[in-house]
Amino acid sequence: MRAVVLVGGFGTRLRPLTFTTPKQMLPIIHRPMIEHVLEHLSAHGITDAVLSMGYRPDAFADAYPDGECAGVKVHYAVEPEPLDTAGAIRFAALDAGIDERFVVVNGDVLTDLDVNALIDFHLAHGAEGTIALHRVDDPSAFGVVPTDAQGRVEAFVEKPPRDEAPTDLINAGTYVLEPSVLDRIAPDRKVSIEREVFPAMVADGTLFAMDGHTYWIDTGTPAKYLQSQIDLLRGERGDKVNGIHPDTVIDDGAIVARSVVGAGARIAAGAEVRGSILLPGCQIGAGAVVERAIVGPGARVGDRARVEELAVLGDRAVVDPGLRISGGSVGVDEHLTVESGGN
């Protein structure tokens, strides 16, 4: 079985990190996110994937010029214009010549979903489409999916108020689809699979859903991008991993705790890095504190500066000595000084 992987978004919620890099190419524990996604598919027997691309397709092609990523053969389908979720699926599937049952996944979601179990569920119910579900505390930011006792979807409710949600089961962004679903998608305009295609399938009684009961996280915000890696450090998705790249320099007297530190990063004496992500080549000055923050590639945090509370530094950003950045972001190549607004 083949897969369509949606990687075409602009990653606006992760700016400034995504001004130069598609979010699926941002590292998760020293490897691009897309490799984790495709490795998971490969573990379930999927050997071919179509990357439905829009923003910065060159970044993927340059990284995997031989058309293979994490043991999966990849086909690049570049949208001529944004086509929304269903339009992107249709374009990618047709571009790659898919004419039989296939899997769809979102390229910014990390999960332990048993894809084979989802396929088996789909086949057992004779479904036209099957959605993997995930249970959340607050469903108001997602599409919720109430089902009957057999798993047939009764409705597809997009982002309901928390106290009005008919269920706490959300669309987890992994689907098994029959090729007939492609015929439901208009070819000449943007089409949302959540707002148009799935409701039409519900009306026809052909859409089913399975509760996955697995680890699941959408990495598309700074908080979730950070959490996804802290989870790996803690062993919440498989065995615990070491977040410190061997090609980093940590001076004596520096403290690094519950953090990921990329290749070529330098942490000076007396600095403290806690619960944070330091991307490759960044520098943390003497006595500086980085706590629950993301420091972009090549960025520099000056001596005794403080970066905290989900602050995000873009590529090669500079924070002058002694400044405090609490939340917000510093843009690509931006130099933050007292005169420029640092406090």
In DSSP notation, 57-115 reads HHHHHHH-TTSEETTEEEEEEE-SS--HHHHHHHHHHHHTT--S-EEEEETTEEE---H
Domains observed in the chain: 2-234 (3.90.550.10), 249-336 (2.160.10.10)
CA distance linking residue 148 with residue 146, whole number of Å: 7
- Summarised one tens digit per residue, pLDDT across range 40-75 is 999 999 999 999 988 888 899 899 989 999 999 999
- Summarised one tens digit per residue, pLDDT across range 224-256 is 999 999 999 998 887 889 999 999 999 999 999
CA distance linking residue 13 with residue 95, whole number of Å: 29
pLDDT of residue 343: 56
Q: What is the mean pLDDT of residues 312-339?
A: 93
Q: What is the pTM of this model?
A: 0.91
